[in-house]
């Protein structure tokens, strides 16, 4: 048996098992299994150290994306994002750490017909926000407007990333005045954007909310009512999972296979 799993805390509602198991069925990988394990940041090192040679990969969600960098050899993108969401094992070698969130964001935008932007607004300043900034920079954005609850802290955190990407990151405080851009990405927790949903929906023609459950969010409803293009967190989850599966199995799985599995697990949500 070849083993993989998703780790995080909380983890019980993760859709990753549904996506990866659907991929295994599509690929005919009857000897692969994919589970979920509740693991917090302090426990990750011990968990990884206890794995045997039957393990091939881990999907890592919050709060494990930063500490994962210390437990293996991160690739250039994971170092740049300061976050890794995928760990790959090969017998006799140091675990390798990757970030597939960046590629997942770019692919989700492309699937919605957006492959180039000049500017972006990002709500939030955590690990997903960093991946979002890198993603829109890869899509050509020269200016990112970051809205954060702790703007001074965010300026310090994102200054180095802005320099490395050679883009401008303008940080503003959280409030009803949402900066306008070509696209808006909300990376904050559920309910956080509710008070500014209409203002955020009016700030860009394309709205990407990384939440997928519950759906639709207040932001998605406001964006739909305003005639915006709306992308949700299931799109991100599926596209980043395609990247994880390539790293874990060495094979490519059609996006639609995972999307159908994710929708089924969510009770048929269409986004």
Of the candidates 65, 116, 190, 270, the residue annotated as catalytic is: 65
Phi, psi of 139 (to 5 degrees): -90, 5
236: nearest Cα among 187, 183, 175, 176: 187
Q: Is 198 exposed, middle or buried (0-12, 13-18, 19+ CB in 10 A)?
A: middle
Cis peptide bond prior to 166, omega within 30° of 0: no
Residues forming beta bridges with residue 147, ordered by sequence position:
123, 172
Strand 168-173 versus strand 2-8 pairing type:
unpaired
H or E stretch at 85 = none
Identify whether 116 is a catalytic site residue: no
Distance CA 218, CA 197 (A): 6
- DSSP structural state of residue 174: S
Question: Reduced to 3 states, what is the DSSP secondary structure of residue 121?
Answer: strand
Phi, psi of 208 (to 5 degrees): -120, 110
Determine contact, residues 139/117, Cβ cutoff 8 Å. Answer: yes
Tell me how crowded residue 255 is: count the other CB atoms within 10 A of its CB. Answer: 16
Distance CA 127, CA 147 (A): 14
The residues annotated as belonging to the active site are 65
């Amino acid at each position: 048996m070849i083993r993989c799993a998703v780790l995080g805390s909380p983890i019980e509602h993760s859709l990753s098992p549904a996506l990866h198991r659907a991929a295994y069925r599509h690929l005919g990988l009857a000897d692969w299994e994919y589970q979920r394990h509740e693991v917090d940041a302090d426990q990750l090192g011990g968990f990884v150290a206890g794995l045997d040679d039957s393990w091939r990969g881990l999907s890592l969600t919050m709060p494990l994306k930063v500490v994962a960098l210390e437990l293996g050899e991160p690739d250039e993108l994971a170092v740049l994002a300061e976050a890794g969401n995928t760990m790959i094992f090969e017998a006799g070698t140091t675990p390798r750490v990757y970030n597939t969130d960046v590629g997942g964001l770019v692919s989700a935008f492309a699937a919605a017909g957006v492959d180039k932007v000049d500017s972006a607004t990002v709500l939030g300043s955590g690990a997903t926000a960093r991946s979002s900034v890198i993603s829109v920079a890869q899509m050509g954005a020269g200016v990112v407007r970051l809205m954060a609850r702790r703007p001074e802290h965010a300026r310090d955190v994102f200054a180095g990333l802005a320099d490395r990407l050679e883009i401008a990151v303008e940080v503003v405080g959280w409030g009803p005045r949402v900066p306008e851009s070509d696209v808006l990405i909300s990376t904050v927790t559920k309910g956080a954007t509710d008070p500014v949903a209409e203002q955020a929906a009016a700030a860009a023609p394309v709205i990407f909310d990384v939440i997928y459950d519950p759906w639709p969010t207040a932001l998605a409803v406001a964006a739909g009512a305003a005639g915006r293009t709306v992308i949700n967190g299931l799109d991100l989850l599926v596209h980043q999972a395609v990247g994880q599966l390539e790293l874990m199995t060495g094979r490519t799985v059609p996006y639609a296979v995972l999307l159908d599995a994710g929708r089924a697990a969510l009770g048929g949500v269409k986004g």
